[in-house]
Amino acid sequence: MSSEVAARRDAKKLVRSPSGLRMVPEHRAYGSPFGLEEPPWVPDKECPRCMQCDTKFDFLTRKHHCRRCGKCFCDKCCGQKVALRRMCFVDPVRQCAGCAPVSRREADFYDRQLKLLLSGAAFLVTFGNSEKPDTMVCRLSSNQRFLLLDGDGDDHREIEVARIAAVQMLTEGLPPGDTLTHTSLPASRPVAEGGNARATGMTLQYTAPGVEGLVQLTLTAGEDAEGSRRQATAWLAAMHKAAKLLHESRDQ
């Protein structure tokens, strides 16, 4: 990738919307696949009462729009200002009692898991049905749009995150007789819910330009160094969270 292309991918601009200031990609095509579009606001004339507690709006009881869902509420039901990173807001914005907890949970992804994904981890990587894995460092690009895999020499590959169709977690330490739990975009659960099970790898299925059907990629945490394995396991857990956000973005 040339430095000019990389700079174009990462370029951002400050814009003002009815909801507040946003730092968005200079080019819409380079937006994060985890991002959410601002919702249309429910028109004032269609909202004479709070959509949560049914309080009637008047001179003293003002109406407020939740920046995440766009619905109309009174101050008591929509008085929290919470960071909304998925819509690129610079400052915390007003959100209703239903949306605020969701945004707080997502903030943990941006404050913790995203940093792990950007820093990367080493894996044994198997492409398709290949029998011999390659040792590669996998990380998320700075604009969150690509998984970057770097091996020895000039071995560099990119997978567009938006093209990932399914994710399966590979685990060990399940109780005797239990089955391996697969995690996918349509239905997923935190790795920690597997009790003593821990993530050892991940299988990704994605579409590639000019290729018919799904392409498969398997990442497996190595055994050579405990510190490296811990980093790889943490990266897998963060990628699991990212897959859930990706699925939620598609459902919006």
Tell whether pTM > 0.95: no
Assign 117 to helix, strand or coil.
helix
* DSSP bridge partners of 11: none
Pairing type for strands 215-220 and 121-127 reads antiparallel
List C-alpha distances in Å: 13 to 1, 21, 26, 93, 133: 22, 10, 5, 19, 41
Residue 78 has pLDDT above 80, yes or no: yes
251 pLDDT band (50/70/90 cuts)?
low
Cβ atoms of 33 and 144 within 8 Å: the answer is yes
CA 171 – CA 75 distance, rounded (Å): 46
Provide mean pLDDT across the span 82-99. 95
Ordered structural domains, the chain, with CATH: 11-115 (3.30.40.10), 120-172+199-251 (2.30.29.160)
Provide mean pLDDT across the span 216-225. 83
Q: Convert the pLDDT of each residue in 224-236 to its tens digit.
A: 666 678 889 999 9
- Say what the pLDDT of residue 180 is: 36
Cβ atoms of 143 and 9 within 8 Å: the answer is yes
In this structure, what token pair is assigned to residue 229? 């394995």
Cβ atoms of 245 and 34 within 8 Å: the answer is yes
Lowest mean pLDDT among 7-21, 70-84, 163-177: 163-177
Provide mean pLDDT across the span 84-102. 95
